Each structure stands twice: as structure tokens, then as C-alpha cells.
Amino acid sequence: MINRTVFGLATGLFAAALAGCAASHHGGEAPVSAGVMTQEAQRALTPDAVLADLKAGNERFVANRGIDRNWVGQARATASGQYPKAIVLGCLDSRVPPEVVFDQGIGDMFVGRVAGNFENQDMVGSMEFGTAVAGSKLIVVLGHTSCGAVMGAIDRAQLGNLTAMLANIEPAVASTSGERASSNKDFVRRVTEENVRRTVRDIQSRSEVISGLVSEGKLRVVGAVYELESGRVRWLDN
Ligand SMILES: [Zn+2]
């Protein structure tokens, strides 16, 4: 068994994470579905290939032709280790479940969610684990249309801890020109995109681990906006 305590240690990061999956994916009493991420599959992927995979997954979702998965089979097949291809940082919004809109299965992606899909130290630290330790090749910052957090930041909504949380989105509001009101749909759209682009930049600027992997070509960090009305993911600059 792997020693999970290594998660928090500075030493042995690279060796530790991938030690978990010696067990056969085909062991056990019940047949399990193929198609879960393995170490070999992960190693064979490039960042561009993962991006293409997620684009194809969203196309399947939009067409309502998602892969028919044996969910419990995938749970069993991934129980002894994980080799996710990507990390998605998405919004808390109940209408934007990343695994669903990218048509991905168990063990395929790490997902971090917070209202307004901004980064902070905890999220970037999690991403450093997901990439440098666990081998993911792509980070997607996924905003969405009609985001209540973005609109709340624009309108300077105040409520308990929400006030401080929305301050994370304020730089995107401040750097976007136009009439600052959540009723201004064009302004909301541009702030949403700016918030995604800023987050893409900030993840890399505050993490030498992540920017180092990017400069080595082992990782890409990209932004996208999910459209509630169509189910389509619109990629920014990709
Ligand atoms: Zn949202």
C-alpha cells in the first residue's frame, strides 16, 4: 500500500505519487470497465492531446452522446491508484459539473471548485500535487455564463464571508471597461473572460512548479467559458 502521508512532504514528491497502482486493473471478482486512466495512458498523453480529448468530450456532451460508463466498475478499477489527465478549476455553480460537461469518467480529472473559479494558495498547491506529483498534463480554468459570483462581484454584493470571497474577482471587474452593472450582459461576459484569463496567468505566476512544467512542455494552462444555454465550452485563445 502506498503511504499517503507522503502527500504533504517536500521530499520524494515525484517518486511517491505514482507508486500507488501496482495492482492489476483487472483483478477482483467482478469484471470492470475498460477506459480508466492508467499510468501508461497518462504518460502517452501530451498537453495538446488532453485538450483535444476534453474538446471531444464536450462535443459528445452537447450531442447528448456521452460514453456509457460502468461507474462502479470504474470505481473498482481506479481504487488502487489514479492517473488523471487534467485538472479543472470550475465554479461552484450546480449547473456546471466538469466531469459531466467534458464527458469524463472516474479517475479522469481532478476538479477544484469555488464560486467564481479563482485561484488561491490552497488551490494552486492542490494543482501542484495534481501536476508535478500525480502527472496531469492540462489545467483548465472554466468560467461560465451568467455566473452569480461574477455578477455579485460587479454589484459589490455583501454577505458574511461572501464579501471577502468576491474580492478575489474584483481585479477582473476593475480592469474591464464599461458600465459596471450585472444587468449589463456584455460587461458580465467580458469580466467573466477576464477573470478566467487572469486566473490562468496567476496560477503560473504564483507557482514555479507549474510554470516550470509549462516551460518544459509537460503542462498547459488554458481558459474556457461554459455556456449554460447550449452546454458548449468556448475555449479562450485555444
Ligand atoms: Zn459561477
CA distance 123 to 89: 8
**How far is ligand 1, taken at its centre, from the CA of residue 117, in Å?**
7
Cα-to-centroid distance, 190 and ligand 1 (Å): 14
Q: What is the C-alpha separation between 15 and 175, in angstroms, rounded?
A: 42
Tell how far the Cα of 10 is from the centroid of ligand 1, in angstroms: 34
Ligand 1 centroid to Cα of residue 8, in Å, is 30
Ligand 1 centroid distance, CA of 179 (Å): 20
Which pLDDT band holds residue 34 (cuts at 50, 70, 90)? Answer: low
Distance, in Å, from the CA atom of 142 to the CA atom of 26, rounded to the nearest integer, reads 34
Kindly report the pTM of this predicted structure. Answer: 0.86
Q: How far is CA 181 from CA 13, 151, 185, 190, in A?
A: 46, 8, 8, 12
3-class secondary structure, 27? coil
Q: With cut-offs at 50, 70 and 90, classify the pLDDT of residue 12.
A: very low
Determine the distance separating the centroid of ligand 1 and the alpha carbon of 92, expressed in angstroms. 6
Confidence check: pLDDT of 4 > 60: no
What average pLDDT is seen over the chain? 89
**Alpha carbon of 43 to ligand 1 centroid (Å):** 33
69: buried, middle or exposed (CB in 10 Å: 19+, 13-18, 0-12)?
middle
Cα gap 127→124, rounded to integer Å: 5
Cα–ligand 1 centroid distance for 227 (angstroms):
11
> Residue 238 — pLDDT band, cuts 50, 70, 90?
low
Measured in Å, residue 127 CA sits from the centre of ligand 1 at: 20
Residue 131 CB neighbour total at 10 angstroms: 26
CA of 116 to the centre of ligand 1 (A): 5
pLDDT in tens, 122-157: 999 999 999 999 999 999 999 999 999 999 999 999
**Could you tell me where the beta strands, DSSP code E, fall in the chain?**
86-90, 109-113, 138-144, 220-226, 233-236
List the one residue out of 49, 29, 28 whose CA is nearest residue 37. 49
Going from the Cα of 233 to the center of ligand 1, the distance in angstroms, rounded, reads 14
Residues 6+ apart with CB under 8 A from 42: 83, 84, 85, 135, 136, 137
